[in-house]
Amino acid sequence: MDIMKALEQAIAHEKEAADQYREMARQAEDIETRFILEQIAQEEDKHREALIKRLNTLRLMR
C-alpha cells in the first residue's frame, strides 16, 4: 500500500470514528457522557483535518 492510499484510508477511518462518537453522544443518557463523547468526536475531526492536509501536500508534490 502506498502512502496516498494509507492516508485516504486513515481519513475515512477518522470520519467513521467521529460519526460513531457522535452517535454514542446522541444516545447517552447523561450530559457528562454526551459532552465527553462530543469532545472525542471533535478530536477525531482534528485528526482527519491533519491527515487531509498531509494528503493534499503530497498531491501537490507529485
CA 45 – CA 18 distance, rounded (Å): 6
- What pLDDT is attached to residue 12? 98
Does residue 53 surpass a pLDDT of 90? yes
Does residue 62 surpass a pLDDT of 90? no
Does residue 59 surpass a pLDDT of 90? yes
Q: What is the 3-state secondary structure (H, E, C) of the chain?
A: CCHHHHHHHHHHHHHHHHHHHHHHHHHCCCHHHHHHHHHHHHHHHHHHHHHHHHHHHHHHHC
Q: Which of 4, 17, 20, 13 is nearest to 59 (CA)?
A: 4
Does residue 3 surpass a pLDDT of 90? yes
Q: In this predicted model, what pLDDT tens digit does every residue of 7-50 receive, in sequence order?
A: 999 999 999 999 999 999 999 999 999 999 999 999 999 999 99
- What pLDDT is attached to residue 4? 96
